[in-house]
């Protein structure tokens, strides 16, 4: 039986003046995860939210908070985001010198550990940490901004990652330029979680937009 694809709306595209309401609306609309993009203005050329905002949003949904740390170095932020209510913490291969140690830290705090691959980062960089990973995030745009166009080479990378993980219970997430036109290709390549910002928030009917991605 095929596992239904999970949809993780990115609140980067939400109305920041009413984030609590937006998160409640996404929950009610059928989101599987709430995707939180954390940017430090250093690892990526943008600055977004910190643990305080995640803590404030936590009471508004019981869905898993999927926190994507686009920060360097990541280790100094991990405990504070866990305390704020993150369920999944994803870090980038390039963000720190000791990926294995960082993933161990996340798991030691009882959270699911994710690792992200930028468009130019080869999947082989994950070969020695696969047994410490719960989620692999394939970036299909360069991280830092919403609303970018999908990079087609991500499809082949997703398929290679799918082959690489074998029978391990690792989710494959895709982030960047995801919409109803390419969602079926991403799932066919092996994606199990689709992050979408503009595609979910393009109209006020979040439930219809999430259903279109499925």
Active-site amino acid positions:
37, 175
* 3-class SS of residue 113: strand
What the block records as the tokens of 47 is 């600055």
Cβ neighbours around 20 below 10 Å, total: 12
Cβ neighbours around 98 below 10 Å, total: 11
Find the Cα–Cα–Cα–Cα dihedral 36, 161, 171, 177, rounded to 10°.
Answer: 40
What the block records as the tokens of 25 is 């609306």
Which distant-in-sequence residues (6+ apart) come within 8 Å of 93 by Cβ? 99, 115, 116, 117, 118, 121, 125, 126
């Amino acid at each position: 039986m095929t596992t239904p694809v999970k949809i993780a709306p990115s609140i980067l595209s939400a109305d920041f003046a009413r984030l609590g309401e937006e998160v409640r609306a996404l929950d009610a609309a059928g989101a599987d995860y709430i995707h939180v993009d954390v940017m430090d203005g250093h690892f990526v050329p943008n600055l977004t939210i910190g643990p305080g905002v995640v803590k404030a949003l936590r009471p508004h949904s019981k869905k898993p908070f999927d926190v994507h740390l686009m920060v360097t170095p990541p280790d100094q932020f991990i405990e504070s985001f866990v305390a704020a209510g993150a369920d999944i913490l994803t870090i980038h291969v390039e963000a720190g010198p000791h990926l294995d140690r960082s993933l161990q830290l996340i798991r030691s705090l009882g959270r699911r550990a994710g690792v992200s691959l930028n468009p130019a980062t080869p999947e082989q960089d994950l070969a020695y940490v696969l047994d410490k990973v719960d989620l692999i995030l394939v970036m299909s745009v360069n991280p830092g901004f919403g609303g970018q166009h999908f990079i087609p080479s991500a499809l082949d990378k997703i398929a290679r990652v799918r082959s690489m993980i074998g029978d391990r219970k690792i989710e494959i997430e895709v982030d960047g330029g995801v919409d109803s036109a390419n969602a079926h290709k991403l799932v066919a390549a092996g994606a199990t979680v689709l992050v979408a910002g503009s595609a979910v928030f393009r109209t006020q009917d979040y439930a219809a937009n999430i259903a279109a991605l499925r």
